[in-house]
Every structure is written in C-alpha cells, then in structure tokens.
C-alpha cells in the first residue's frame, strides 16, 4: 500500500501555485480555506470522512478539494496539483535565471496588516523557502485607507511583531530575516505619509504615488523629485502607476519628466523600483532604459500581496535583462548588511 501524502500540504501547494499563476483570489481561497478547515479536525476524522465520502459535508470543502484529499491519502499526487506543477515550469533564459539567482531578497511586500491576504509569518516563511535572505515588509501608510494603511500606532505595533518573528527565526538557526519597512504614500506636495520618527526607524522605505495620478507633468515631476530628496525614502515604487492588464482594469502612465526624476534618484543615490506585478510591469522598458542611462540604481521587487506572488521576481529580472541592467546596479543583489548600509546612508 502506498504511503499517504500530507493532504493539507498538497492543498496549500495548490493555493500557492494558483496564486503564482495570478489566478482569481476566490480559487486560491477555496484551497487555502479548505486546508484551514481540515487542519482543525480531530485526529482520524479526516481519513474517516475521506473513506466515507463525507468531506464535502464540511463547510468550505468542495468536490475538487475533497477529491484532492482522497488522492493524497491514497499516496497519489492529486491530479489537480500535478497539472498545475506541469504548467508552472518557468522556462527562463539563462541570463534571467542568473539574475534571479543573484537576488538575495525582496524589498516590497504586503501582509494582511494592510491589503495583503496573508499574515506576516506566512509571507516570511514563503520568502525564506524561495531562498531569500530577507524580505522587506512594506505595508501601506495611513492615507491609503482603501488598503487599510497603517497608522503610526499600528506600524509601531508591527515593529514589535517583526522583532519577535526575527528572534524566532534566529532561534531556529535560520539566516533569514524580515527587514522593517513601509510603502509610504508620496502625498500631493511630495511629502511622505508617516512620521519622520517612524520613517527613521525603518530599515527600508519604499515611496509610491497612489493618488492624483493625473497630476500635470510639472506637478508630478516636482512631487517625485521632492520625495526622492527626502532622506527617508530609499526606493521609488512603481513610478508611472500604470496598469496594463487585470481585474482593476487598465490605467495610463502618469506623466512626468523622466530626465529630472531619474537625475534626482542618482543625485540622492536612491533606487528606482522594477515592479514585477504582471498588471504593473513598471517602469515601461522605454523608461527603464532612460533610468539606466542616467545612472540609477534599481530594486527588483514583487509587490506581493500573497505568498504565491513572492515568486514573481522573474518578471522583473526578465525586464532588467532585456534592458541590459547589470546586477551591480540592483540593490537587492546586496547582502542584508550592505542593503541596510545603503539605506542608512540616506539618513
Ligand atoms: Zn503601491
Ligand atoms: Zn505595494
């Protein structure tokens, strides 16, 4: 008789692969939710229900998930999972794979403290599982209320949670750690939407424009240049704000003077983000080339809002390679200590 697999691990793996493939959230939730329900069953009940065919009597467990569980318990890789694994193969070219392997972490990711879907520890463990040395946790700032931006009090509380999680990782002998951070809104006047005191305490600050995206070019340029000159900001997130596909529809690029913005980034030694989200892929290659020629540093980030999305760095790597961005210009090829030293050099 073949040995049973872990059905819950299989369900979570399916959720992860669906997420990575940018599938609809409800499909991902069906599997992760079922795993949570089944994980709470008393010893032996899972197997008994699988045998009796009563798994689907449980709220949150549908036909497809039940079938996966039965297959796992029979020691077979669920057909659903096998199909996903087969199509998830990343056929990256050699250069893109090389750059991906050179990245040591991710500087932009959200948890369920703001608009992400998963707790901090789950995001962190997924990042560690991908081989990252660090993950910068960058939940949103207060004014972005639609994304449940963190007040100063909640951010302060989050810093304590991150410190505890890092202590736990160290105890387990993991070299991985969460770096503290924020995706802070760049406000209409170019100021940043969090207290100076807190911004100064964070390891890495990503600053992004999320409002008044249709500002006149002169206004937007001044706004971004002001933010880049702010010593707290380290990385300029998704600089054009464009959306090219996906459930939120499309949105044109914000208009600004790229020469002035990228020159300000060089002057203050800040990084321009290469955002890997499939619906963003920001900046467009045309601007990425201008930033490269201007002498900018870059950060290739996932902007993940769920664990499976932490695997999207290859999207950004492919674009960096296509535009000839060398690894030494990319700040997240740096070990954590050097990344922190670079961020700290801004004040
Ligand atoms: Zn953003
Ligand atoms: Zn973000």
pTM: 0.85
Interval between CA 163 and ligand 1 midpoint (Å): 24
Interval between CA 33 and ligand 1 midpoint (Å): 27
Residues in Cβ contact with 75 at an 8 Å cutoff, skipping those fewer than 6 apart: 1, 2, 3, 4, 5
The yes-or-no verdict on residue 1 having pLDDT over 80 is: no
DSSP string of 182-227? EEEEB-TTS-BSS-HHHHHHSSEEEEE--S-TT--HHHHHHHHHHH
The yes-or-no verdict on residue 3 having pLDDT over 70 is: yes
Residue 76: the pLDDT is 93
Mean pLDDT of 184-206: 98
Interval between CA 52 and ligand 2 midpoint (Å): 45
**pLDDT tens digit sequence for 281-326:** 999 999 999 999 999 999 999 999 999 999 999 999 999 999 999 9
Choose the weakest-confidence range: 85-99, 196-210, 227-241, 313-327: 85-99
Of the ligands numbered here, which is closest to the C-alpha atom of 301? 2
How many angstroms separate the CA atoms of 187 and 205, rounded? Answer: 15
Interval between CA 210 and ligand 1 midpoint (Å): 6
Tokens read off for 195: 């207290």
Interval between CA 347 and ligand 1 midpoint (Å): 23
The yes-or-no verdict on residue 46 having pLDDT over 80 is: yes
Interval between CA 217 and ligand 2 midpoint (Å): 23
Interval between CA 182 and ligand 1 midpoint (Å): 10
3-class secondary structure, 302: coil
The yes-or-no verdict on residue 23 having pLDDT over 60 is: yes
The pair phi, psi for residue 210, each rounded to 5°, is -125, -5
**pLDDT tens digit sequence for 251-279:** 999 999 999 999 999 999 999 999 999 99
Interval between CA 110 and ligand 1 midpoint (Å): 10
Tokens read off for 44: 């032996």
Give, in order, the Cα–Cα distances in Å from 340 to each of 5, 109, 120, 257, 337: 42, 17, 20, 29, 5
How many angstroms separate the CA atoms of 158 and 245, rounded? Answer: 32
Residue 89: the pLDDT is 60
């Amino acid at each position: 008789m073949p040995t049973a697999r872990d059905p819950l691990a299989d369900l979570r793996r399916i959720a992860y692969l669906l997420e990575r493939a940018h599938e609809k959230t409800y499909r991902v939730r069906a599997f992760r939710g079922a795993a949570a329900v089944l994980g709470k069953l008393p010893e032996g009940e899972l197997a008994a229900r699988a045998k009796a065919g009563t798994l689907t009597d449980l709220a949150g467990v549908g036909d497809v998930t039940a079938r996966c569980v039965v297959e796992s318990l029979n020691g077979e890789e669920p057909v659903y999972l096998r199909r996903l694994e087969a199509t998830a193969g990343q056929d990256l070219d050699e250069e893109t794979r090389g750059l991906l392997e050179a990245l040591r972490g991710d500087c932009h990711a959200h948890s369920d403290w703001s608009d992400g879907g998963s707790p901090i520890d789950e995001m962190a463990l997924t990042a560690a599982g991908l081989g990252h040395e660090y993950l910068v946790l960058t939940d949103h700032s207060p004014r972005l209320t639609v994304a449940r931006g963190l007040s100063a009090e909640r951010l302060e509380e989050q810093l304590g949670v991150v410190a505890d999680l890092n202590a736990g990782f160290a105890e387990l002998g993991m070299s991985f750690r969460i770096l503290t951070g924020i995706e802070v809104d760049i406000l209409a006047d170019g100021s940043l939407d969090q207290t100076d005191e807190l911004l100064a305490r964070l390891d890495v600050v990503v600053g992004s424009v999320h409002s008044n995206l249709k500002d006149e070019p002169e206004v937007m340029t001044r706004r971004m240049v002001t933010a880049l000159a702010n010593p707290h900001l380290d990385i300029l997130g998704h600089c054009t704000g464009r959306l090219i596909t996906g459930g939120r529809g499309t949105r044109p690029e914000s208009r600004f003077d790229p020469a002035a913005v990228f020159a300000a980034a060089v002057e203050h030694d800040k990084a321009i983000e290469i955002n890997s989200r499939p619906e963003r892929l920001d900046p467009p290659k045309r601007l990425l080339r201008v930033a490269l020629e201007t002498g900018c540093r870059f950060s290739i980030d996932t902007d993940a809002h769920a664990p499976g999305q932490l695997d999207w760095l290859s999207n950004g790597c492919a674009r960096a390679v296509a535009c000839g961005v060398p690894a030494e210009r990319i700040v997240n090829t740096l070990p954590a200590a050097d990344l922190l030293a670079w961020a700290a050099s801004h004040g």
